[in-house]
Amino acid sequence: MPELPEVEVVRRGLAKWAAGRTVARATVLHPRAVRRHPAGPDDFTHRLTGATLAAPHRRGKYLWIPLAQDTAMVAHLGMSGQFLIRPEGAPAEKHLRVRFVFDDTEGTDLRFVDQRTFGGLSLHETVPGDPEQLPQPLAHIARDPIDPAFDDDAFHAALRRKKTTIKRALLDQSLISGVGNIYADEALWRTKLHYDRPTASLTRPRTAELLTHIREVMGDALAAGGTSFDSMYVNVNGESGYFDRSLDAYGREDEPCRRCGTPIRRRAWMNRSSYFCPRCQPAPRPSS
DNA sequence: CTTTTAACCTGCCTGC
DNA sequence: TGCAGGCAGGTTAAAA
């Protein structure tokens, strides 16, 4: 479950069901799942053995779990990654990639399941003195819009100086993290902005509106347990969120805009799709 | 230097 | 039924 609300649902599940537990044994069933771990699968499992999982943190779509004073396990769900808390005896999922067995008597294990293998786990040093024990590789990831330390003014200034379009900017994790294809389309629809609008043309009030809508749609989605179109995106207990029923733009091609009734359109865009209302979100005047 | 494209994977759905 | 092609919520190395 890839975007910020879905990852936050997972983080909360880990906080409840995995934090504080000590790993008795870690098993890597598919080496690609730990390809971002520099020292390889054997080092990964060896270093996790005996490690106690601290409370999980999140920035944007990235999760991390501090293990010791200066080490944390980073997790990214990619397009199809899941963390599942399962009964120890439950049969292996078809796409089970990494399994953690604990030294306690709770009777459950922790599994990283990932059909498309774009996600992965890895161990990294943390930024010295960082209160959240941020892993070094995440230092370049921007704070996300629901982080109290997110700087709205700096974000607007960055948009103004970029030579790009608004949806590309929203998906740039070094400018603002946690926004993906669904919530970008939803926030743009709520703000009545076209995805190809040049960022340099945005006024400060427009940027403020956009940020407000990003926060609102993510808050709404979180309250609904996230967005799930199928069993691919689930919480640690395997349950789907139901925000898909509340989407206004994403996935609604040819269905009437909930504001003006005009059919929502889908456009091929950067090897994926953009959904928008052609009336509420008119295309910007072509530049040059 | 910044911006854009193509590639990385598996599985499902549609149309021929 | 089979098969090709398109599509899917992610990042990122390489090219422009």
Q: Cβ of A232 < 7 Å from strand C?
A: yes
- Of the residues A138, A173, A192, the one at which a domain ends: A138
Report yes or no: A240 and A224 within 8 Å, Cβ to Cβ.
Answer: no
Q: Examine the domain organization and report whether A111 and A187 are in the same domain.
A: no
Q: Examine the domain organization and report whether A170 and A113 are in the same domain.
A: no
Q: What is the CATH number of the domain that holds A95?
A: 3.20.190.10
Nucleotides of C strand lying within 7 Å of any protein CB atom: 7-12
Beta-carbon contacts of A253 under 8 Å, excluding residues fewer than 6 positions away, are A263, A264, A265, A266, A275
**How many domains is chain A built from?**
2
Read off the amino acid at residue A1: M
Report yes or no: A191 and A210 within 8 Å, Cβ to Cβ.
Answer: yes
If DSSP codes are grouped into helix, strand and coil, which group holds residue A284? coil
Q: Cβ of A122 < 7 Å from strand C?
A: no
Q: Cβ of A168 < 7 Å from strand B?
A: yes
- Of the residues A106, A138, A170, the one at which a domain ends: A138
CA of A114 to C1' of C12 (A): 19
Which tokens sit at A188?
A: 């743009």
DSSP state of A134: -
Instruction: Name the residue with the least CA to C1' distance from nucleotide B12.
Output: A230
A93 counts as catalytic:
no
Beta-carbon contacts of A130 under 8 Å, excluding residues fewer than 6 positions away, are none
Q: Catalytic: which of A61, A99, A197, A252?
A: A61
Read off the amino acid at residue A6: E
Q: Examine the domain organization and report whether A131 and A174 are in the same domain.
A: no
Look up the domain containing A79 and give its range: 4-138
Task: Confirm whether residue A116 is marked as ligand binding.
Answer: yes
Q: Examine the domain organization and report whether A59 and A167 are in the same domain.
A: no
- Of the residues A87, A110, A138, the one at which a domain ends: A138
How big is chain A by its Cα radius of gyration, in Å? 20
A147: in domain: no
Looking at residue A68, its pLDDT comes to 87
CA of A176 to C1' of C10 (A): 15
Task: Confirm whether residue A162 is marked as ligand binding.
Answer: yes
Q: Examine the domain organization and report whether A126 and A212 are in the same domain.
A: no
A210: in domain: yes
Instruction: Say how far apart CA A79 and CA A116 lie, in whole Å.
Output: 7
pLDDT of residue A288 exceeding 50, the answer is no
Looking at residue A1, its pLDDT comes to 57
Mean residue pLDDT of chain A comes to: 96
What's the average model confidence in pLDDT over A204-213?
Answer: 98
Q: Cβ of A30 < 7 Å from strand B?
A: no
A188: in domain: yes
Q: Catalytic: which of A16, A204, A259, A272?
A: A272
Q: Examine the domain organization and report whether A134 and A168 are in the same domain.
A: no
Looking at residue A233, its pLDDT comes to 83
Please give the helix or strand (H or E) that residue A199 lies within, else none: none
A94 counts as catalytic:
no
A3 counts as catalytic:
yes
pLDDT in tens, A248-278: 999 999 999 999 999 999 999 999 999 999 9
Instruction: Say how far apart CA A65 and CA A136 lie, in whole Å.
Output: 13
- Which residue from A138, A169, A139 is spatially nearest to A155, judged by alpha carbons? A169
Nucleotides of B strand lying within 7 Å of any protein CB atom: 2-11
Which tokens sit at A30?
A: 């598919």
Task: Confirm whether residue A140 is marked as ligand binding.
Answer: no
Q: Examine the domain organization and report whether A162 and A256 are in the same domain.
A: yes
Q: Examine the domain organization and report whether A258 and A170 are in the same domain.
A: yes
What's the average model confidence in pLDDT over A19-31?
Answer: 98
A61 counts as catalytic:
yes
DSSP state of A283: P
pLDDT of residue A51 exceeding 80, the answer is yes
DSSP state of A117: -
Q: Cβ of A275 < 7 Å from strand C?
A: no
Which nucleotide is the nearest neighbour of A115, by CA and C1'?
B10
Q: Examine the domain organization and report whether A125 and A164 are in the same domain.
A: no
Instruction: Name the residue with the least CA to C1' distance from nucleotide B4.
Output: A270
Instruction: Say how far apart CA A184 and CA A278 lie, in whole Å.
Output: 16
Chain position carrying tokens 């209302």: A277
Which pairing describes strands A71-76 and A96-102: parallel, antiparallel, or unpaired?
A: unpaired
pLDDT in tens, A129-164: 999 999 999 999 999 999 999 999 999 999 999 999
User: In A52-165, at which residue ranges do the beta strands (DSSP E only) sit?
Assistant: 57-59, 62-68, 71-76, 81-87, 96-102, 108-114, 120-125
Looking at residue A192, its pLDDT comes to 98
Which tokens sit at A122?
A: 């890895």
If DSSP codes are grouped into helix, strand and coil, which group holds residue A131? coil
Per DSSP, helices labelled H in chain A are 4-17, 41-48, 152-161, 166-171, 181-191, 204-223
Instruction: Determine what percent of chain A is predicted with pLDDT higher than 70.
Output: 99
Q: Examine the domain organization and report whether A121 and A218 are in the same domain.
A: no
Looking at residue A253, its pLDDT comes to 96
What's the average model confidence in pLDDT over A25-47?
Answer: 97
